[in-house]
Amino acid sequence: MIRLHHVPESRSMRVLWLLHELGLPFEVIEWPFDKTLRSPEFLALNPVGRVPALELNGRNLFESGAMLEILCEGFDTMGMWRPIGHAERADWLVWVHFAETISQHSAALTQQHIALYDDAMRSPTVMQIEAKRIAKCYGAMEQVLSQQDYLLSDFSAADIAVGQAVYMAKHFAPLDEFAGVTAWWERITERAGYKASLPEGPRLYAKDFYPAWT
């Protein structure tokens, strides 16, 4: 039994996207992005009150990167995984975990622009620095994606992990200056698995873009 605990547009979206690509039967429980994630019920699923949480055959798992690895290892028949011994194994791991390098900046910016409830708490300096650090990440991706269609030789869970990280990051740092990343983004978001992971109801990001304050 696979049950994903999900907040639309958050990091749990990367697990949802992978589950759609893998074509597995699964259940989704949606949670609001609020103090409910600190309830005893949710803390039993993820001890730090974060999404995603994943119930997998009687175990409660946390950490989205680990979930991608575990799901690919256990269930991939669609070319999403690069197993031990595969020539692209190291690069697959690097990119699956690079998603967190991007997401830490998006998380800081989500806090700055959305979660803080009083303007006096927001910092233009933090907003500017974190947006620049996202652009630096796009630059690293551009080195690869200006040369090839996907992060590896073909679409994989690495594109899902980084693609979902870019989904969040695009709300704070535009892709415009990165032609290879932009073409990749258009390519991967054509996929049915991506489209199926998009929110149908309440959204975390009310706006498409949140410019840094100056």
Ligand X SMILES: N[C@@H](CCC(=O)N[C@@H](CS)C(=O)NCC(=O)O)C(=O)O
**Residue 14 or 82 having the CB closest to ligand X:** 14
199 binds ligand X (CB under 6 A): no
Interface with ligand X (CB under 6 A), residue total 12
CA pair distance 69, 84, nearest whole angstrom: 11
Do you find a cis peptide bond into 124, omega within 30 degrees of 0? no
Nearer to ligand X, 103 or 156 (CB): 103
53 Cβ neighbours under 8 A, 6+ residues apart: 4, 5, 12, 42, 45, 46, 60, 61, 62
What tokens were used for 59? 């175990």
20 binds ligand X (CB under 6 A): no
Q: Does 11 bind ligand X (CB under 6 A)?
A: yes
Contacts of 103 (CB under 8 A, 6+ apart): 11, 165, 168, 169
Question: Could you give the CA distance from residue 168 to residue 161 in angstroms, rounded to a whole number?
Answer: 11
Smallest separation (angstroms) from ligand X to the CB of 56: 14
Q: Which of 100, 133, 135, 213 binds ligand X (CB under 6 A)?
A: 100
Q: Is 112 in the site for ligand X (CB under 6 A)?
A: no
Site for ligand X in 35-64 (CB under 6 A): 37, 49-52, 63-64
**Which residue type is seen at 165?**
A
State the residue for tokens 């910016």.
Answer: 109
Q: Looking at beta carbons only, is 134 or 180 nearer to ligand X? A: 134
Find the shortest distance in angstroms from Cβ 50 to ligand X. Answer: 3
Binding site for ligand X (CB under 6 A): 10-11, 37, 49-52, 63-65, 100, 107
